[in-house]
Amino acid sequence: MKTWVLYYSKSGNTKKIADAIAEELEDVQKSEQIPPAYPPENVALLFLGTAEYAGKPDPKMIEFIRTLNTNRVKNAAVFGTSGAGNAEGKAIGAVKALLKEKGINVVEESFACKGKNFIFFNRNKPDANDLKAAREYARKVYGSIKV
């Protein structure tokens, strides 16, 4: 099944999760920061990762979704990190809502964890347990998609 992992990350927290997901699955396009070229044709599953900035995804993520050619992507799963507050915050919900508006089937379950915030907060996040949980999430979602 053709799978692609994309993310947007300023600090590298979301990139760590994206890399763990990409390494876990077979036939995956290497994780890549947006905005890349459009996904290849017939992507069965797009993992889309966002960091939360002041309760929102970065504007580059929003723009990418708005310009996404939905004829290329059948299903999407959303993951993210947050340096402050609730890791499964508003940014993941906003990304899921935008994808649904585009008519893409969005996996209900998402993955979120805390990320390092500045020097002092969540210093070792995401940690080995977070990466392990991200890989488990990837396998579960990948196994649930019917091509």
DSSP for 26-77, please give it.
SSEEEEEESS-SPPPTTEEEEEEEEE-BTTB--HHHHHHHHH--TTSEEEEE
Structure tokens at 135: 């890989």
Counting other chains too, the contacts that 92-95 makes at CB distance below 8 Å and 24 or more residues apart are 92/50, 92/52, 94/56, 94/57, 94/62, 95/48, 95/50, 95/57, 95/61, 95/65
Check: CB of residue 42 under 8 Å from CB of residue 72.
yes
- What is the reported pLDDT for 141? 95
- Residue 122 makes CB contacts below 8 A (sequence gap 6+) with 83, 114, 115, 116
**Does domain 3-144 bear CATH number 3.40.50.360?**
yes
- What is the reported pLDDT for 37? 61
Using 50 as the pLDDT threshold, list the residues of the chain that sit under it.
none
pLDDT in tens, 96-106: 999 999 999 99
Structure tokens at 33: 């920061």
Instruction: Note the maximum CA span of the chain.
Output: 44
Domain ranges for the chain, please list them.
Answer: 3-144
pLDDT in tens, 99-134: 999 999 999 999 987 666 655 555 666 778 888 999
